Structure 1
Amino acid sequence: MSLAEELAAVYGTPLYVYDLDEVAAARRALFDALPEEFGVFYAFKANPHPEIARTLREDDARACGAEISSTGELTAALTAGYRGAEILYTGPGKTTAEVAAAIGQGVRKFSVESLSDLRRVGSVAVGRGVVVDCLLRVNSASASATTSIRMTGTPSQFGIDSETLAELAPRLTSVPGTRIAGAHLFPLSNAKDEESLIAEFRHTIEVAARVQRDVGCAFRFLDIGGGFAMPYAVPGERPGYGKLRAELTAALDVHFPDRRANGLRVFCESGRYLVGGCGELVASVVNVKESRGRKFVILDAGINTFGGMSGLGRLLPVAVRPREGAEPGDTESASLVGPLCTPGDLLGREISLPRLASGDLVTIPNAGAYGVTASLLMFLGRPAPTEVAVRGGEVVSVSRLEHHRVHGEVR
């Protein structure tokens, strides 16, 4: 019996198990793959669990900063021990109240998506008597990779169109309460291979140098985004990036040759690479049924627990671990579904599964990123899954998210 199954016997299912040793190993692997001058921001959207975030921050020499996009993530970062100075606040829909809350907690670095976004940040900063550093998020007119999830090169709510920057520069650099400290580019997510990632980073660094010229101020910060891959809900290992360090150094030497003398700090972002491999989701088979020649395996975990986007037609490539003692090759084709009263609660359609029966446990691997908080957690009001963090095989924490209605005056 695996550790996850042992814990399921104690805490029930659905159950997430997070291995903090794997989180620390992923952090070391990413820093090893990057030039020594690089910093890393952890994208809290991947998994804001406080023990995971603490683990990513715990190494003073190679601590991850926090990239957040809401006051909820701000609270999660502060709970995990992050200070305001270690946080980058991003997102296309920052409200005045959210900016005020962040500045009030000491956040002094914002990624801004437009001139109006910059002005909103500046107006709050002026009211608080501070000046904040702003990174211009740039929507490049061109891109390198043609695969993966594209985040640039098209009309978008994300970023300032690169071709407009030269004209906008005088207004961007004169907003009270702000100083333009650099650029933020995030062209893609989950690159298909190292060659694609390197090509995209090369292009991003070239664009960033052009942006610096167009804006007319020396950058102190440059965030070139992410794209680091990790299998999701299927077996697989964290990929290695053996060529990345040399290639990034070479690209920066070409386009930012004076960066060290000028004090330029360069960052990447990562979510799934850092935490995807740390988690397993354990669920129980509630029922197995046949309908008109098709088999359905019904779990106590569905899109309210994991991969809620599957309910919008994005089926997950889910694989489950065979139960202990199962014969090799003892599989069948069936649909893996959850407990919700909607046909959209579908984790996998006609996929290869071990032969399962009511009461069996199934384990979905590589479920540490985009799990609980990326699911339709409140739909139908079912309890959230329990989350257990372990280190060295020992339980560090046991928790569960709760949702409740607040009555009275709510702001």
Structure 2
Amino acid sequence: MSKYRTLAEKFGTPTYVYDLDVVAQARDQLFGLLPDGVELFYALKANPHPEIARELRAGGDRPCRAEISSTGELGNALAAGFAPEEILYTGPGKTDAELERAVAAGVRLFSVESASDLRHVGAAAVKHGVTASCLLRVNTTASNASSGIRMMGRPSQFGIDAETLPALMPELRAVPGTRLVGAHFFTMSNAQDEDGLLGEYEFVLHSAARLRDEVGLPLELLDIGGGFSSPYAVPGPRTDYPKLRAGLEVLLDLHLPEWRSGEVGLACESGRYLAGSCGSLLAGVVNVKESRGHRFVILDGGINVLGGLSGIGRLLPAAVDLDGVDDDDLRTGSLVGPLCTPGDSLAKAARMPELAPGDVVTVPNVGAYGVTASLIGFLGRPAPVEVVVRGEDVVSVSRLDYHRTYEVTP
């Protein structure tokens, strides 16, 4: 905690601290949970900070590739050192301008969500005289998981409905400027149950093999998604999956034995697991007040710096790091931010020590879905400082800057 206190005193609050040593540990742990030869895409939406992305790409024996869904993330990936051929461009709303920019930058691998999405990719590729390799994102009809956030098996903007593929495949194969090379599945997110995660992967592998055999779906590269769980804004370690590697190998041998020879290339993707545990938010206590018997601790950062996707109703109660604090010294109260809205609440019943103005609280496990998933533009408060460290050494200090640019003169 003394390191955080020193950083808060030097750089102020609210401040995010990202530890690259923890990023490397998460990368190596996740690769160790997967069979040899499985590629891993880092989803930059979790945290596009170039230092984090660079660590995931450059370090270790098995570097990550990049998964992006905007030209902003494309710029961040390139700034972090990813080569264009290491990038997978995904998302249901790719515009013509975005696709042309990506193709011009050298990106050649795209996940497509519909026949029209594929045609847009092809048009951009034809304009630049190249061929784009495309994965068909598939929305299957059912899945097995009992926990996590469901991503398939219902009407969705994501993916091509599996039952439509027999009729669509001739059209999909004939789109100029494109070559179908594989499939992309993403069934769920944040799966804490290992058996449930393996059940999802079995369903995906069985579905991919069936579509290959029945409709000729290519499987040069099969992205089976992610779903790896890591705590968000509360203390705790990344989820371990001790049976995943061996279990996934058994399922691959059963459904797609060609993976052993490399005939079928395999990939997973992750954002939260790779980046979540590296980050902590340091927030200063501005005021402490009582209101009708309830205690409110008012911080200098709220949902404007720790939004946690609050705009789509996925803000989870945050918790203060209580390392070294005796249970007898804890009190219950609300953690709230400085914004002029009752929605600026990080936790309504948090356990915390006795706090006073000038104290600093630490919210752990916020390296993913922190700054860029927050309402940083609301009420015009400055974005938080982001400090990147490697152990005790400060690597960089930065702050996002947002300002209005007039592009057309009245």
TM interval, shorter chain, is over 0.9
Identity among equivalent positions (%) equals 60
Query: Shift in Å at residue 96 of structure 1?
Result: 0.4
Q: Which residue of 2 aligns with 1:29?
A: 29
Q: How far off its partner does 1:261 sit?
A: 4.1
Aligned to 2:301: 301
Q: Which residue of 2 aligns with 1:398?
A: 397
1:76-120 deviation line (CA, Å, top 9, x unaligned): 000000111000000010000111111111100000000000011
Rounded to whole Å, the distance in 1 between the matches of 2:182 and 2:45 is: 23
Report the CA distance between 1:313 and its aligned residue: 4.5
Cα–Cα, structure 1 residues 139 and 224, in superposed 2: closer, same or farther, change >3 Å?
same
Give 4+ residue runs of structure 1 displaced > 6 Å after superposition: none
The letter of the residue matching 1:386 is: V
Moved more, 370-379 or 314-323: 314-323
Deviation, structure 1 residue 215: 3.4
- Give 1:45's aligned amino acid: K
Q: Does the Cα contact within 8 Å between 1:315 and 1:348 map onto a contact in 2?
A: no
Partner of 1:42: 42
- Please, which runs of 5 or more residues in structure 1 have no aligned partner? none
Q: Secondary structure at 1:305's aligned position in 2?
A: coil
| Aligned equivalent of 1:355 | 354
Q: How many residues align?
A: 409
What pairs up with 1:327-406 in 2 under 5 angstroms? 327-406=326-405
TM-score normalised by length of structure 1: 0.96
Per the alignment, residue 289 of structure 1 pairs with 289
Contact 1:310 1:344 in 2 (8 A): no
The separation in 1 between residues aligned to 2:220 and 2:116, in whole angstroms, is 22
Deviation by residue 1:132-179 (Cα, 9 ceiling, x = unmatched): 110000111011103210000111000001111111111111101001
Judge which range, 358-367 or 247-256, deviates more: 247-256
Secondary structure in 1 matching 2:35: coil
Answering whether residue 162 of structure 2 is matched by residue 162 of structure 1, we say yes
Deviations 1:290-329 (A, max 9, x none): 12222111101100101253365444231102487x5432
Equivalents in 1 of 2:34, 2:207: separation in Å? 20
Deviation at 1:398, TM superposition (A): 0.5
Question: Partners of 1:182 and 1:375 in 2: how far apart?
Answer: 34
Alignment of 1:125-164 (within 5 A): 125-164=125-164
Structure 1 residues 405 and 197: CA distance shift in structure 2, 3 A: same
Structure 1 counterpart of 2:299, which letter?
L
1:240-281 per-residue CA deviation (whole Å, 9 max, x = no partner) reads 221111111111111112234463210000111111110110
Q: Partners of 1:81 and 1:201 in 2: how far apart?
A: 31
SS in 2 for 1:199: helix
Q: Structure 1 residues 395, 137: CA separation in 2 closer, same or farther (over 3 Å shift)?
A: same
Counterpart for residue 259 of structure 2: 259
Letter of the 1:302 counterpart:
G
Separation in structure 2 between the aligned mates of residue 65 and residue 406 of structure 1, nearest angstrom: 33
Tell me, yes or no, if the aligned pair for 1:311 and 1:346 is still in contact at 8 Å. no
Indicate conservation of the 8 Å contact 2:309/2:369, yes or no. no
Matched residue type, 1:40: L
1:384: Cα distance to partner? 0.5
How far off is 1:354 after superposition? 1.8
Gaps of 5+ in 2: none
Specify the SS of the correspondent of 1:45: coil
CA distance in 1, matches of 2:312, 2:293: 25
Whether the 8 Å contact between 2:317 and 2:348 is mirrored in structure 1 is no
CA 227–163 in structure 1, closer or farther in 2 if over 3 Å, else same: same
Cα 1:122/1:61, change in 2 over 3 Å: same
Q: Specify the SS of the correspondent of 1:329.
A: helix
Give the Cα–Cα distance (whole angstroms) in 2 for the partners of residues 34 and 389 of structure 1: 28
Question: CA shift at 1:192, angstroms?
Answer: 2.1
> Aligned with 2:202: secondary structure?
helix
Q: Do the aligned partners of 2:131 and 2:177 also contact (CA within 8 Å) in 1?
A: yes
| Aligned partners of 2:320 and 2:351 also within 8 Å | no
* 1:258 to 1:12, Cα distance in 2 relative to 1, 3 A: same
Distance in 2 (CA, whole Å) between partners of 1:305 and 1:331 is 25
